[in-house]
Amino acid sequence: MIEEKFDAIVVGAGPSGNAAAYTMAKEGLNVLQIERGEYSGSKNVQGAILYADALEKIIPNFREEAPLERHVIEQRMWSMDDKSHTGMHYRSDDFNEEKPNRYTILRAQFDKWFSSKVREAGAVLLCETTVTELVKDTQGNVIGVRTDRGNEPILANVVILAEGVNGLVGQRSGLRSEIKPDTVALAVKEMHFLPRETVEARFNLKGNEGVVIEAMGTITKGMTGTGFLYTNEESISVGIGCIVSDMSESGVTPYDLLEAFKEHPSIKPLLEGSECKEYAAHLIPEGGYKAIPQLVGDGWIVVGDAGQFVNAVHREGSNLAMTTGRIAADTVVWLTRRKEEMSKANFLEYEKRLEQTFVMKDLKKYKGIPALLHSNKQNFFGLYPKLISGALQTWFRVDGVDKVSKEKEIFQSFRRSRTLLGMMGDAFKLVRAWR
Amino acid sequence: MTLVAKAAAPGVKVEEKLFQNRYLVDAGRPHIRIRTEGKPSQELISMIYMCPAGCYSLSDTGKVELSADGCMECGTCRIVTAQTGEIEWNYPRGGFGVLYKFG
């Protein structure tokens, strides 16, 4: 068994764990990282968009070697009803820059690469090993972990829990409570392969340019959720996710929801002739600021999805994961150099540093949004997309009806389905939650 | 029970989707077990349609049965039944379970 005592143990090799392990190892700390999968990435699922800024702060020249698919030059936001979509598209040649801002990636491949950098930096990676529990001393300080490979504890000054959304180790050690079904989404996704020329022709792209589509509306059948479609080099990631408690009440299967999304007349032609090579499912913590658990204690720190660090409104997660991982690691390095204890009191520095970043600022800004959307889901994910679509169809269809009558018809369609006060109330609440 | 009937209607074969995936099954050591012998709760019954891998099914005798071989380890059943305690959920042993090529 491993007899030495490590400066730090990192549980998990996703974006937050890799960011933490890399940062500490690069600063000369003796780091052990433990991953339950065969390799880093083998258990990980994401859309996936990589936000360059968060990774650049860790590995500045990542573009030279990381497996990247396409850089995003166009964002499409769709409000969908059963046969239509209303789109807001933003495309800019400015995104064809020397150091692009966002990339599509395939997580299993990207994580494998990130993990190779972690090992190059000097961390020890133990794969195919599941951490079963935290080891505490008589005072209750966390001093290490036990794994499913032998009973002997592995000791360290600090354990960084980068264990992902399910976070069994932290929960079972009583560090945080179970996630609630109304603060987590279940997303399913498929990988559809097409020749790269077909992807480029279909989405009006050249070279490594890419498009992402984020969609909401009747595709989630009245549940709080979104669909997505991302272009990769020679494949398309397509998926849909909804809040677990909504799905529980709905009686719809996740795969039927995905099939219906793929069959939508606005999506189907984009996938035409493709070959599906993988089907994946994963949970996404979407409770936002209010769902963040206790993040630090004596001998432990939580980073990434385990800490609910996801900005559901902007579909950001991996960048929050990498940033929390990096800052937790910076804090540990700082305390190690000062020969300070890895105590809860000293780890408040991690929280203090996080407060200064976009992570906490954004999560705080949107703290009211998850509950608002969830409590008004029939309106935001069903009624309004239908009304918008109906209004635009009335407006664009030229059929001998005069424009004043059309305006009246549109106005009445809104009034029939929702009172003026109700609509104003929704708008007011949305604006207030957004600010 | 109406929920179950509704779920069965559209008829997408989840088995065909799972067939794309790679797994290393830990034979004889399922990482999820149903604990209770009694009448299943509505939460447990909901897993018959909610599980993205279709691991749960209803037996002729009205019991919920589980075959975890196609499990993608998402944890939905764990969270949905957390209050009822009907499911014992662990990660597969290190190295076993689903193996994503693309993720």
Within a domain: residue B36?
yes
- CB contact under 8 Å between B102 and A277, yes or no, is yes
Report the gap between the CA of B93 and the closest CA in chain A (Å).
Answer: 6
Within a domain: residue B102?
no
Cα distance between residue B7 and residue A132, in whole Å: 35
Q: What is the pTM of this model?
A: 0.95
Task: Name the residue in chain A with its Cα closest to that of B95.
Answer: A128
Cα distance between residue A354 and residue A302, in whole Å: 12
Number of structural domains found in chain B: 1
pLDDT of residue A371: 87
Chain A residues closer than 8 Å to B98 by CB:
42-43
Burial class (CB in 10 A: 0-12, 13-18, 19+), A367: middle
Within a domain: residue B101?
no
Within a domain: residue B87?
yes
- CB contact under 8 Å between A282 and B72, yes or no, is yes
Cα distance between residue A360 and residue A371, in whole Å: 18
Cα distance between residue A248 and residue B42, in whole Å: 9
HEC readout, A204-255:
CCCCCEEEEEEEEEHHHCCCCEEEEEEECCCEEEEEEEEEHHHHHHHCCCHH
* Chain A interface includes B6 (CB < 8 A): yes
Chain A with chain B: Cβ pairs closer than 8 A: 143
Nearest to A278 among B3, B76, B101 (CB): B101
Chain A residues closer than 8 Å to B103 by CB:
41-42, 44-46, 48, 106-109, 111, 280
CA distances from B95 to A194, B22, B77 (A): 31, 12, 21
3-state SS, residue A321 = helix
3-state SS, residue A53 = helix
- CB contact under 8 Å between A107 and B100, yes or no, is yes
Nearest to A46 among B17, B101, B103 (CB): B103
Nearest to B82 among A178, A253, A277 (CB): A178
pLDDT tens for A194-236 read 999 999 999 999 999 999 999 999 999 999 999 999 999 999 9
Is the pLDDT reported for residue B7 higher than 80? Answer: no
CA atoms within 13 A on the CB side of B77: 34
Cα distance between residue A174 and residue A169, in whole Å: 9
Within a domain: residue B97?
no
State the Cα angle at A105 between A373 and A320, rounded to 5°. 50
pLDDT of residue A289: 95
The interface predicted TM-score of the complex, written ipTM, equals 0.93
What percentage of chain A reaches a pLDDT higher than 90?
Answer: 91
Q: With b meaning 16 or more CB within 10 Å and e meaning fewer, what string describes A235-247?
A: bbbbbbbbbbbbb
Cα distance between residue B6 and residue B65, in whole Å: 19
Q: Which of A187, A370, A355 is nearest to A281 (CA)?
A: A187
- Cβ atoms of A270 and A236 closer than 8 Å: yes
Is the pLDDT reported for residue B3 higher than 60? Answer: no
pLDDT tens for A232-290 read 999 999 999 999 999 999 999 999 999 999 999 999 999 999 999 999 999 999 999 99
Domains and CATH numbers, chain A: 6-69+105-177+293-365 (3.50.50.60), 181-285 (3.30.9.90), 369-434 (no CATH)
Residue span of the structural domain in which B76 resides = 2-7+14-21+30-91
Task: Name the residue in chain A with its Cα closest to that of B78.
Answer: A166
- What sign for the dihedral angle of Cα A176, A181, A183, A186? positive
What does the pLDDT average to over A55-81? Answer: 98
